[in-house]
Amino acid sequence: METKGLTRRFGEQVSVNEVNLEVPEGKIYGFLGPNGAGKTTTIKMLLGLLRADAGTIRIFGQEMPGHSLDILRKVGSLVENPSYYGHLTGYKNLKILTTMLELPDRRIGEVLEIVRLTSSANRKVGGYSLGMKQRLGIAAALLRSPRLLILDEPTNGLDPAGIQEIRHLMLELAHEQGMTMMLSSHLLSEVDSIADEIGIISGGRLVYQGALELLERFGRRVLRFELESPEEALRLPGLQGFIVERDGNMLSIAAEEGSVPQAELFKLLGPYGIMKVQETGKSLEELFLELTGKGGSL
């Protein structure tokens, strides 16, 4: 699934600004961004629930919304808080959907099994916990055996145990059933251990997209050497090509791109009396906050 230049305005505000998403098939894509960043607006456009002002969307190689009927048959989704009939059981709620979608009733049992609600199938949804309701929403999204599952903040409002359960479920669906999955969250910690790829949106703009490990590497790119003779070391031609800052006996060295070649620097600076070495850098969480702060970008 991919978008090119996807844009949506509300009045003067550009809520989604030329976003180019690339969601790889069979992978879990974490769509991250603080509240108001444009996640739901983007997702609604992907699902044809909202018109885009500019840009294109391709899902399974076909254009949205031109081929929406074809595409949406293969897409399951959960956007914002789904509503249920509280006075009906979980089973009955799904039964309404299978009737509408003309699906065989055996799917109900199957999806309830997947989200582990079988034993609560005959209880009224009004008595379900938030986590159970969320799982019922995912069950509903799974009814049509989608190839692509799009979940907007599926763990929002859940307690740690509930979050854990949903994460487990995502992994299972992606790895055992080969489903492509896109899930949004405003918290990095909710997707960091399960997403293969992430996209970070901030103020409507995609500020990072790629593997999580790659982002992690950006965070660990400064080595601080405490030296006996920092003055002389500063003049080393070998340090050209690095970003070097001196603060007293301390030299902070960063690579212009990627990670710092530690071994090389040790060899280079050895003769200048290394007293202490520290690897400083930012945690993923700090990077995320920085990126989603004002105008951050890598």
From candidates 3, 29, 30, 41, binder to ligand ADP by CB under 6 A: 41
Q: Which is nearer to Mg ion, 152 or 197 (CB)?
A: 152
From candidates 3, 6, 15, 57, binder to ligand ADP by CB under 6 A: 15
Nearest to 170 by CA among 189, 186, 187, 154: 154
203 binds, among Mg ion, ligand ADP, none (CB under 5 to 8 A by kind): none
Size of the site for Mg ion (CB under 5 A): 2
266 binds, among ligand ADP, Mg ion, none (CB under 5 to 8 A by kind): none
10 is a site residue for ligand ADP (CB under 6 A): yes
In the shown chain, the binding pattern of residues 22 to 61 toward Mg ion, with x for contact by CB under 5 A and - for none, equals: -----------------xx---------------------
- CA distance linking residue 128 with residue 169, whole number of Å: 18
Residue reference for tokens 């699934």: 1
CB 48 within 8 A of CB 64: yes
Identify the three-state secondary structure at position 26. Answer: coil
- CA distance linking residue 39 with residue 206, whole number of Å: 10
- Phi, psi (rounded to 5 degrees) for 88: -105, 160
41 binds, among Mg ion, ligand ADP, none (CB under 5 to 8 A by kind): ligand ADP
40 is a site residue for ligand ADP (CB under 6 A): yes
- CA distance linking residue 221 with residue 279, whole number of Å: 8
Under the rule (CB under 6 A), what is the footprint of ligand ADP? 10, 15, 33, 35-41
